[in-house]
Amino acid sequence: MLEGEIKFGMIKKNVTDVAIKGKRLLIRVDFNVPLDDNGNITDDKRVRAALPTIEYVLDKGAKLMLMSHLGRPKGEVREDMRLTPVGKRLEELLNRPVKKIDDCIGSSVEDAVNRMNSGDVVLLENLRFHKEETKNDPEFARQLASLGDLFVNDAFGTCHRAHASTEGVTHHLESVAGFLVQKEIEYFERINLSPEKPFALVLGGAKVSDKIPVIENMLSKIDVLIIGGAMAYTFLKQKGVNIGSSRYEQDMADIAKSLLENAKTMGVEMFLPVDHIVCDNIDEPKHIKTTEDADINEGFLAVDIGPKTIELFKAKLRTAKTVVWNGPMGIFEKESFSTGTRMIAETIAESPATSVICGGDSAAAAKKFNVEDKMSHISTGGGASLEYLAGKTLPGIAALADR
C-alpha cells in the first residue's frame, strides 16, 4: 500500500463506497488500443488495466456497460475504429460473454440494456463516432447517462478533457472513481501535496513549450530538476552553449532564461547535459560521435545525452526519495540513440525512491527496457498526468463525488 494512501487517495468516492448490486453501472474506460492493419490489437495493456474495476463490480452483482473511444474518427463512423476487436479480447480476459453493440445511444442500445441481468457485460460502440462526445453536448450526455444508475470513471487518460462521457454524464448520475483512476489520484495528489524529499523531476522529450507549466508549478516542490532530450537545447543556448543544429525554440528563449533564474533563486539544483551523442543526419547518419563537453559543432545535432551526462544524472537520481519522469533523453526508438533513456529508466527502476512515470513516451521507454514492474507507478495518461503536474484541474476528476 502506498504510504499516505488514506490521506491522499480518499478525496473522491470510488466503487467501494456505493451499493452496486443489481445496479446498471455506466463505466468510462480507456480502450483506445493500438490496432494493426488487420484490426488486431497489438497491445492490450489498456484493456487489462481496467480489469480490477470490471471484475470487482461483476463480483458484486452489477450490470456493466462499458464505454470508450478508439482513435480519432471525428464524428464519423469508421469501420477500422470499431470496438469489436476490444470486445473479443475483453471476452477472453474475463472468460464470460461481452455483448458488443453497434452504437452508444439510441433505441437499440436501450433495448439491449433493458434486457441485461446481473453480471452481464455490454460494450458500447466508439463514443467518438458522435461529434457530440468531444463537444460535451448536454443532450448526448443525458442519453448516455440514461443507460445507467451510477457512473464510474476509470479512464484517467481522458480525465483532462471535459467530454460528454467524462464530465457531461456526471450532471445526471452519482459519479465515482474506478480503481485505476483512484490509484492515479493517490500518486499525483501525494506528489503535489507532500512528496518525500529529496524530490527529483526528470523532463525530456522534444518541446520546452509542453513542459513549461509543469516546471513552473513544480519548482516550489522539487529539490532537483534534470532536463534532457531535445528540450534541453533551448535552455543550453540561454547559457551560452553552442548547440549546433539541435532543436531550438526561439519563442521559448525568454521563458527558458527566466526558469533558469527562478530555479537558482529557489535553491533548486538544475542539471542539463554536459556532453552529447550527436550526428549529422537523424534518418541516415554518416557521422555519429560523442562530444567532449556541452558544445556541439555546426552541422551536428544532439540525439542523446552523452556518457558524462548519464553519470551525472544517475548520481543525482540515486539520492532522491521521490522521482517523477516525463520524456525521453534522446531518440530512444533508434537503438543507436537509446542509451541515455535506457540508463535513466534503469536507474529510476533500481532506486528505492517512489517513482512515477508520466505515461506517453516515458511509459513506452519503461516497457521497451523491461523495467515496468520496478516502477512505483506508471500513469495511463500522458496528457492528463502533465496537466496534474502543472496544477491544473482535471474536469473528469473534479466532477466525481467528494468523499
The x, y and z cell numbers of residue 204, run together, are 525530456
The answer to whether residues 14 and 178 touch, using CB atoms and an 8 Å cutoff, is: yes
Is 190 part of the annotated catalytic residue set? no
> DSSP 3-state assignment of 296?
strand
Is 22 part of the annotated catalytic residue set? no
Cα distances (Å, whole numbers) of residue 305 to 277, 320, 332, 362? 6, 20, 11, 16
The answer to whether residues 201 and 324 touch, using CB atoms and an 8 Å cutoff, is: yes
Catalytic residue (one of 157, 204, 228, 360): 360
> DSSP 3-state assignment of 365?
helix
Rg (CA), the chain: 23
Distance of alpha carbon 365 from alpha carbon 76, whole angstroms: 33
- 395 cis-preceded (ω within 30 degrees of 0): no
Is 247 part of the annotated catalytic residue set? no
The x, y and z cell numbers of residue 47, run together, are 484493456
Catalytic residue (one of 4, 78, 383, 392): 383
In one-letter notation, the amino acid at residue 251 is D
Angle in degrees, CA 244, 250, 252, rounded to 5: 120
Is 342 part of the annotated catalytic residue set? no
Q: Which residues, at least 6 apart from 160, have a Cβ–Cβ distance to it below 8 Å?
A: 381, 383, 384, 387, 388, 392, 394, 395, 396
The answer to whether residues 50 and 29 touch, using CB atoms and an 8 Å cutoff, is: yes
Catalytic residue (one of 88, 99, 142, 207): 207
Distance of alpha carbon 210 from alpha carbon 214, whole angstroms: 8
314-318: list long-range contacts, CB under 8 Å, 24+ apart. Answer: 314/343, 314/344, 314/347, 316/200, 316/224, 316/226, 316/269, 316/271, 317/200, 317/202, 317/226, 317/344, 317/347, 317/348, 317/351, 317/353, 318/347, 318/351
Question: How many residues are present in the chain?
Answer: 403
The answer to whether residues 42 and 36 touch, using CB atoms and an 8 Å cutoff, is: yes
Catalytic residue (one of 12, 23, 24, 46): 46
Cα first-last separation, the chain: 20
| Residues assigned a catalytic role | 46, 207, 360, 383
